[in-house]
């Protein structure tokens, strides 16, 4: 992939606000940094973009301490403040996870006729409850209480859709959604119940989502934040191309303020 292609993808994604945890409160600064303050249960505490000039980082860190009730996770990518990883390590942060950013151009999307047997859109509160129950089992997200189901239901629109595949007992065994940002779309939440892995269900849900996005004519590519050891190899076989790395850094204890 040419370097200018990579830059084009990143530029398009940088113009969009990241997906955030429902109920968290977003903030931004004049340099383009972006983060979220936690919800009432302490979830969604994250700094997703750090664009502060390096010489202002110490002062910015003090302001961050005053803003957060406890230290947030940081997502660190290729466009974040130079030296940010070293700065976090010096403040008792540790590398928690690594994700590959993979993209697929519209012209390379899986054939619209490719089968996605049984994969259906979430169209009812019961459908959504089943997907949230899967999220709880796979990701340890909060259980699907009536309040959480209602909050997630409000977030579903034409631009933000969710799909799932039901097992023999009616429960969701694989699921995933997308958010249409205009020129591009993010595929998120791809998960499969442990007892049903290795059967191509994740691929079927990917194909179902790209098929739905064909009606969104402005979307020129889809992107995924993929785990290096699980979904990234599957997506690579489907034609997705790696454009960079995102790291998740978490406080090891209670960093000095």
List of the chain residues with pLDDT < 70: 1-4, 112-115, 253-257
Domain assignments of the chain as residue spans, ordered by start: 3-100+246-251, 110-213
pLDDT computed for residue 257 by the predictor: 46
Q: What sign for the dihedral angle of Cα 136, 142, 146, 152? A: negative
CATH H-level superfamily of 110-213: Gcn5-related N-acetyltransferase (GNAT) (3.40.630.30)
pLDDT computed for residue 112 by the predictor: 63
Write out the H or E segment, with its range, that includes residue 59.
helix 57-67
Region for residue 96 given its phi and psi (left: phi exceeds 0; alpha: psi -120 to 50; beta: otherwise): alpha
Degrees to nearest 5, angle at CA 114 with 111 and 120: 115
- pLDDT, tens digit (0-9, with 9 covering 90-100), for 195-226: 999 999 999 999 999 999 999 999 999 999 99
């Amino acid at each position: 992939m040419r370097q200018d292609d990579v830059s084009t993808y990143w530029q398009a994604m940088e113009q969009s606000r990241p997906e955030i945890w429902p109920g968290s409160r977003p903030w931004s600064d004049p340099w383009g940094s972006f983060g979220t303050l936690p919800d009432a249960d302490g979830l969604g505490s994250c700094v997703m973009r750090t664009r502060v000039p390096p010489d202002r980082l110490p002062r910015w860190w003090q302001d961050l301490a005053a803003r957060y009730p406890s230290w947030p996770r940081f997502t660190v990518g290729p466009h974040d403040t130079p030296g940010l990883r070293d700065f976090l390590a010096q403040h008792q942060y540790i590398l928690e996870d690594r994700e590959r950013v993979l993209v697929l151009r519209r012209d390379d999307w899986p054939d619209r006729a490719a089968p996605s047997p049984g994969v259906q859109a979430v169209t009812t509160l019961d459908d959504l409850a089943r997907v949230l129950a899967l999220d709880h089992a796979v990701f340890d997200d909060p259980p699907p209480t009536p309040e959480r189901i209602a909050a997630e239901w409000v977030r579903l629109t034409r631009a933000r859709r969710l799909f799932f595949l039901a097992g023999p007992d009616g429960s969701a065994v694989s699921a995933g959604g997308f958010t249409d940002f205009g020129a591009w779309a993010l595929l998120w939440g791809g998960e499969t119940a442990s007892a049903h892995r290795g059967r191509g269900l994740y691929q079927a849900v990917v194909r179902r989502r790209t098929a739905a996005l064909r009606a969104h004519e402005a979307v020129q590519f889809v992107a995924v934040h993929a785990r290096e050891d699980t979904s990234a190899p599957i997506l690579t076989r489907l034609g997705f191309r790696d454009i960079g790395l995102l790291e998740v850094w978490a406080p090891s204890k209670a960093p000095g303020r």
